[in-house]
Structure 1
Amino acid sequence: MKIDQESLKKIANLARLEIKPDEEDALLASMDSVLTWMDQLNEINTEGVEPLTHIMDEVNNWREDVGVNSLTREEALANAPAKNDTYIMVPKVIE
C-alpha cells in the first residue's frame, strides 16, 4: 500500500497535526515502510493460533492476607527516637 501526499494531508488533518512541507517526504517514507511491514505480517499464516492477552504464561502466586504481630511493643519502641512507656512520640503536624 502506498501513501500519497493527499492521504498524508487527510491523516494529518484527522490527527490535528501540522506538517511542514520539508517534513512530508520523510513522513511519507516512514509511513510507507510501516505499511510494507504490516503487509508482510498479513502474509503470515495464523490459522489455529489463539490470540494472546499476555506474552508470558506466568501466574501470580497469591497468599492469604493474614495480619501477624511480629514485633512486641518493647521491640518496636526500642529503636524509636522519642517514646514514652507505651507509644512512639512524633512531632505535631496538625494545629
Structure 2
Amino acid sequence: MPESTHDPAGGIISRAEVEHLARLARLAVTDEELDRFATQLDVILASVAQVGEVAAADIEPTSHAVPLTNVFRPDEIRPGLTQEQALAGAPASELGRFQVPRILGEEA
C-alpha cells in the first residue's frame, strides 16, 4: 500500500490506495470506478472519524441504549399433575413411563 494515506487533492484515501486494495481483492475495476470508489470511501472514512470525535468523556459507558428491567414474574410453586394423571391420556405406558415405539432397532 502506498506510504501516504492522504491524497493531495484533499481526500483521506488516494486513488492509488483504492487501486491497490482492488488488486489485493482481485477486483477488476475501471478508472472511472477507481475515482468513484475513492470519493465514496472518503465519505465513509470522514463519517467514521466524525463519530470518533464525539465528546463522550462525561457519558457513562453502557451495554444497552435503554435501561433493562426484569420482566419475569416471581417463581411460584403450583400443584402439577401426578404421574397417574399425566399417563392417563397416553396410548400406552409401562413402569410409570410413556411407552413409545422402538426407533433404533435395538434389542431390550
TM bin, normalised by shorter chain, reads 0.5 to 0.7
Cα RMSD over matched residues? 3.5
Q: Count how many residue pairs are aligned between Structure 1 and Structure 2.
A: 93
Deviations 1:36-94 (A, max 9, x none): 212332443223122323323215578999x9872211221123233247221111123
Structure 1: how far apart are the matches of 2:94 and 2:72?
A: 39
Matched residues in 1 for 2:50 and 2:81: separation? Answer: 62
Q: Identity rate of aligned residues, in percent?
A: 28
Structure 2 unpaired stretches of 5+: 1-10
Q: How does 1:21-60 map to 2 (within 5 A)?
A: 21-22=29-30, 23-60=33-70
**Residues 13 and 38, structure 2, Cα contact 8 Å, conserved in 1:** yes
Larger Rg: 2
Q: Residues 92 and 35 (structure 1 numbering): CA distance in 2 closer, same or farther, change over 3 Å?
A: same
Within a 5 Å distance, the mapping from 1:1-95 to structure 2 comes to 1-12=11-22, 17-22=25-30, 23-60=33-70, 70-84=80-94, 86-94=96-104, 95=106
TM-score normalised by length of structure 2: 0.57
Bigger relative contact order (CA 8 A; separation at least 6): 1
Name the TM-score, length of structure 1 as normaliser: 0.62
